[in-house]
Structure 1
Amino acid sequence: MVNGSTRIRILDTALDLFGTRGVGTVSLDDIADAVGVRKQTVLYWFKSRSGLIDAVLDHAADELLVVVEAAIRSRGDEPLDRVDAVVCAVFRPVVRRPALLGLIREVTRLDESHINHLRGRLSAVVDRCVSYLTSEMEKGRLRTCDPMVLAGLLYSTVSGTGTEPIVLETFGWEPNAAGLRQVRRELRGFVRAALQPN
């Protein structure tokens, strides 16, 4: 049956496969087989492999943006609390669905057109984040530094912590529920300390 839910199943499956195996190693046939449809069904929804990749990037960005927006709305006016909420919100899907940020990591291996597509998709969010950090720094509520660099470091720290368990294991981290709670607690403390006003 070809319907909207088939499109979402294709996107979810492609995201998981691209994020865990790498975009370059996954074929349209692999995706179709995993979804239980024919390759032509995939091409019905996404006119080409390139179109599917861009749609999956959009789908991944949407998942993260919904989580981040909800986290921001859930907290009051205190910037450290808001940043903490975003860290927790982003850390959850990183742990529960590593393919999500695995896919984002894969972007650097893609054609420039896909990189630019994702960059364009996220630029408004990055601009809002940098504007918010700048405003809070000017008010003296966050440590003064380059807000663009800070936003990049925050992203790298949170995503790297969540998506590089092998590196963490090298430093003695235990890959279990208690270990995840410890990493999240330390990550939150690290970010909070880094943002404390001068």
Structure 2
Amino acid sequence: MPARTRERILDSALAAFGLRGYDSTSLDDLASDLGITKQAILYHFSSKEHLLTSTIELAVHELGLALSGAANPQAVGFQRIEDLVRATFSLAARRPEVLGLVRVVSRQGGDASGELASAMSVMLSEAVRFVETEMVAGRFRRHEPRMLLLAVYSAVVGVATEPEVMRALGLEPDLRSLVRARRETIEFLRAALIAD
């Protein structure tokens, strides 16, 4: 039972931190949502910061599974990018809190942001190598690879996780709009990356 309680706490914290924000979520709120005491949370996680660290690990793990499941190692050029964008949007539709947490933590800075960067470093290093290889092969336009990946990340995560911006633009953030946004993002990236 304690392992199941720990998982429930992690899932609830991931949803709360990813959708409402870390600062907007108290341990009392989480305890109330779960129907347990705050002390039960602190039994499994020594502090709110420890809980955040654990949710970062969970989010990066889920993101890594989604991307590695979509990444065909034989795919070259834009096909691999398209597969990864599709997987990211699919994850955003299924578990918006995962990308939401990545977005929230990367924006807030501090220790948690460093933990996120550290947890994602292997994925990002592999992405840089892939982009460099594609540029050398002439399949992608030449850009500074890290800045290119930052732009791709910003485009994909921003479009997939900003429902209020979508509303401000007159788009209802529903599945239909998410599919349309995914299609438009893929076409935008294709135009930016594919070498003439």
The answer on whether the counterparts of 2:93 and 2:175 sit within 8 Å (CA) in structure 1 is no
Within 5 Å, give how 1:32-181 maps onto structure 2.
32-73=31-72, 76-108=74-106, 110=108, 112-181=110-179
Residue type at the aligned position of 1:36 = G
CA distance in 2, matches of 1:65, 1:79: 20
CA distance in 1, matches of 2:139, 2:109: 40
CA distance in 1, matches of 2:126, 2:172: 36
With over 3 angstroms needed to count, the CA separation of the structure-2 counterparts of 1:46 and 1:84, relative to structure 1, is same
CA distance in 1, matches of 2:184, 2:109: 36
- Matched residue of 1:24: which SS? coil
CA distance in 1, matches of 2:108, 2:171: 31
Instruction: Give CA deviations for 1:32-65 in whole Å, capped at 9, x if unaligned.
Output: 2222222222112111111111001111111111
CA distance in 2, matches of 1:164, 1:146: 26
Residue type at the aligned position of 1:117 = E
CA-based RMSD of the aligned residues comes to 1.8
- Matched residue of 1:145: which SS? coil
Q: Aligned pair 1:20/2:19, yes or no?
A: yes
Unaligned runs of 5+ in 1: none
The answer on whether the counterparts of 1:68 and 1:86 sit within 8 Å (CA) in structure 2 is yes
Q: CA deviation at 1:111?
A: 5.8
Q: TM (normalized to structure 2)? A: 0.91
With over 3 angstroms needed to count, the CA separation of the structure-2 counterparts of 1:145 and 1:61, relative to structure 1, is same
With over 3 angstroms needed to count, the CA separation of the structure-2 counterparts of 1:77 and 1:21, relative to structure 1, is closer
Residue type at the aligned position of 2:54 = A
With over 3 angstroms needed to count, the CA separation of the structure-2 counterparts of 1:52 and 1:175, relative to structure 1, is closer
Between stretches 62-71 and 18-27, larger displacement belongs to: 18-27
Residue type at the aligned position of 1:168 = M
- Matched residue of 1:173: which SS? coil
Instruction: Give CA deviations for 1:5-53 in whole Å, capped at 9, x if unaligned.
Output: 2211111100111112210121112112222222222112111111111
CA distance in 1, matches of 2:115, 2:107: 14
CA distance in 1, matches of 2:109, 2:167: 32
The answer on whether the counterparts of 1:28 and 1:49 sit within 8 Å (CA) in structure 2 is yes
Unaligned runs of 5+ in 2: none
Residue type at the aligned position of 1:101 = L
Q: TM (normalized to structure 1)? A: 0.91
Q: CA deviation at 1:110?
A: 4.1
Instruction: Give CA deviations for 1:89-137 in whole Å, capped at 9, x if unaligned.
Output: 0011223332222222221454621111111111121111101100111
Q: Matched residues, percent identical?
A: 37
